[in-house]
A and B are shown apart, each in its own frame.
Chain A
Amino acid sequence: MKKNRMNIIKRLIGISIIPLGTLWIMLAFCSVRGVILFESEGNYIAFFRAAAAVMLTTFALSINLNSGRFDFSIGSISLLSSVVSATVCMKLGLPVGVMLILSLILGAVLGAVSGIIYVFIQLPPIIVSLGVALLFEGAAFAFTKGYGVSFVTNIELISFPGILNYSLVILIGLVAIIFLFEYTQFGYEYKTLLSGQKVAVNIGIKEKTNAILCYIISGGLMGVVGFITATNTGNIQIALNFGSIGVMFTAFLPMFIGGFIGRFCNEKIGYLLGAVTTAFISLTYARLNVSSSVQQIVTAIILVIFLIYLNNENKLKQLFMFDRKVYADKEQK
């Protein structure tokens, strides 16, 4: 009983230490500068928007990356799906809810195209995703003749930003992903392929179908990310020559943080908490008017330090004698 209670406490600490620790540090930074982190409704909206977009991007990236498939095309899927859905909704005068659903469906379709190309030509995913990124960027450029899409004056389409809406996106996204990966045959097969590709294929799991489904889910998520980004500013700028790739880099830090938190709870909840952690950091940058260059450097340094910790955890434990048993054994020897 006592051991169980200790385990629960240990897990709770493991789950909350990074987001709460980060929040505490960010609040401290803000108070030193005389700024309140969450001062207005706009700050809350920015926080929830960042958490929603980063969480979905992290899911989209990790679905394939955890399976050894590096996907450079997720940014271009987000771009093309939002360009098409925004244009269609503007021309037909459709409401913002339809734009969300359309973005999701288009993202899923583009993800399916990406997955089918990968399965059909059987090249390493890194190469396929580079080709697909070029393809979708080119399509977005051709679709808008290079001008991008602007709907800043369309009150209906820019009415989405709000705490409730972003919270719903986070909740539905999280529940859907946990359901798909934990409670369906697809999810079981995904995990089997993850832990042993050869054995899984030999026992009859349809790897190609599973891979295409992964790309479809990843694409659908990126469609929603494109929608969130587009409806925030009312502007979609076109990218060529891999300009869309930057989107995926926002997901690395939350993915690794989520991986760490995932030791104490469901990995997907870990990704959400990773996204929340980065949203705290992003909001602090905005509140303190930190320049984008400094933001990039600080985020990269946090990523590297965190990875150094993750990859050298045992050595560090021994070094600082946290792992007293190992240390004592070494001393004895």
Chain B
Amino acid sequence: MKKIDVQKQILKIAPVVALLILFAVFYMVGTIKDINVAYGMKAIINQSVVVAIVATGAVFIYTLGSFDISLGASVAVSALLGGIVYNATKSILLMLAVCVGIAVLVALFNSVLASVFNLPVFVTTIAMLSILNAVVLMLISANGTGSQIAVPSEAVAGLDNLGIKVLVLFLFEALCIFVFNFTKIGRKQKFLGSNPVCAKLTGISDKKMSIVAFVMSGIGVGLGAFLCIIYAPTLTKNTATSVGMDVIIAIVFGGMPVSGGARSKITAALIGAFSMTFLSQIMILFNLNLGIGQMVKAAIFLFVVFVATSNQRAKMLPR
């Protein structure tokens, strides 16, 4: 095997290695500091699962070379409407349906707006972010106590267990892997992300693929919103605020290029989401000041991405 191939293989597995190292560090520090590691792991899964699901769906958008900045706000609106519907009907199934339905509708609106009117996707999602953030405030002031909308915790207590969360994550991950790796949709999306002109010339419709990508992302957002309610049934204006940015970080941390294309992979979102949460938990274990913790997290994030993409340097600066 050539030296360059070995290097490529090493870089390919770098995100997984980083995740394993972070897990090992977490385990060691937790053990040394005499902290209940099993409980810590439970917290990590609880915190990672929403970002992992939303990011997994978002991979479809990123593969096309686009990005959606409104995902966090979309999670919040879907969760709030799901909560309102639950409070009115007492039906968990209806709550789930509303969460997914609203998220898919928002995603469809984004993609149709961008496709029909030829708008750059990032701008439509920025506008959507503003609108959704405003809707969050309006929903809370109109339907809640003024500062929150609460679903009775006993109503979702039965669902608040790791088994269900991991099952939802596993099923959605399996669906996305199937669509992305074993159907024409995934291949077309990678082609469009790598070379949009060539892909269009071969008859691939970028508009159709964009709609499919946003729908898949919407399903992820809806499931994420549902799990948000289960984990924290008291919904406020701060619900899922950082999810939008965490998704970008998770995808990149997991080893996927932000420019999308052929190197895109579904599992990147899962690996990245868990890596980021491990990192945050390690910072907490070290009792670091929140600000310093965030600085260390940023430095490690940049370092890992730098190492993972070190075979992609060009003569010119990336844009």
Contacts and interface: CB of A to CB of B under 8 A. Distances in A.
A307 B123 contact: yes
B130 A207 contact: no
A263 B267 CA distance: 45
Contacts of B317: 118-119, 122, 197, 207-208, 211
B302 A142 contact: no
A118 B313 CA distance: 12
B302 to A, nearest CB: 4
Nearest to A200: B316
Given A131-B298, A134-B295, A134-B301, A296 B119 contact: no
Contact of B128 (A130, A197, A208, A300): A300
Contacts of A130: 245, 248-249, 301
B138 interface: yes
A123 B306 contact: yes
A308 B294 contact: no
Interface residues of B, number: 52
Given A134-B297, A311-B119, A249 B129 contact: yes
A139 B113 CA distance: 39
B11 interface: no
Interface size class of A (residues with CB under 8 A): 35 or more
Contacts of B309: 123
B291 A139 contact: yes
Interface in B239-254: 241-242, 245, 248-249, 252
A321 interface: no
A296 B131 contact: yes
B39 interface: no
Contacts, number: 148
Contact of B291 (A143, A245, A294, A312): A143
Interface string A62-77: 0000011110000000
A242 B134 CA distance: 18
A299 B298 contact: no
Contacts of A308: 117, 119
A140 interface: yes
Chain A interface mostly: helix
A312 B118 contact: yes
Contacts of B242: 241-242
B126 interface: yes
Interface in A236-282: 240-242, 245, 249, 252
Interface string A98-142: 000000000000000000011101111111101110110111111
Q: Which of A146, A241, A293, A311 has the most CB of B within 10 A?
A: A293
Contacts of A296: 130-131, 133-134
Given A241-B245, A242-B242, A304-B113, A138 B130 contact: no
A55 to B, nearest CB: 19
A112 to B, nearest CB: 16
B126 A252 contact: yes
A135 B299 contact: yes
Contacts of A201: 315-316
B264 to A, nearest CB: 14
Nearest to B295: A138
Contacts of B316: 197-198, 201, 207
B123 A142 contact: no
A271 to B, nearest CB: 17
A292 interface: yes
Contacts of A135: 294-295, 298-299
A32 interface: no
B13 interface: no
Given A130-B245, A297-B134, A300-B130, A138 B292 contact: yes
Contacts of B291: 137-143, 146, 240
Contacts of B122: 70
A317 interface: no
A235 B259 CA distance: 39
Contact of A249 (B130, B257, B306): B130
Contacts of B119: 304, 307-308, 311
B130 A145 contact: no
A299 B123 contact: no
Contact of B305 (A127, A141, A197, A303): A127
Given A67-B319, A241-B242, A312-B117, 11 more contacts: A69-B319, A123-B309, A131-B301, A141-B290, A297-B130, A303-B123, A303-B126, A304-B119, A304-B124, A308-B117, A311-B117
Interface of B: 67, 113, 117-120, 122-124, 126-131, 133-135, 137-138, 241-242, 245, 248-249, 252, 257-259, 289-299, 301-302, 305-306, 309, 313-319
22 contacts: A68-B319, A121-B306, A123-B305, A125-B318, A126-B258, A127-B248, A128-B302, A130-B301, A131-B299, A131-B305, A132-B298, A138-B290, A240-B294, A241-B242, A245-B245, A292-B134, A296-B133, A297-B135, A300-B130, A301-B127, A307-B119, A307-B120
Interface of A: 67-70, 117-119, 121-128, 130-132, 134-135, 137-143, 145-146, 197-198, 201, 207-208, 211, 240-242, 245, 249, 252, 292-297, 299-301, 303-304, 307-308, 311-312
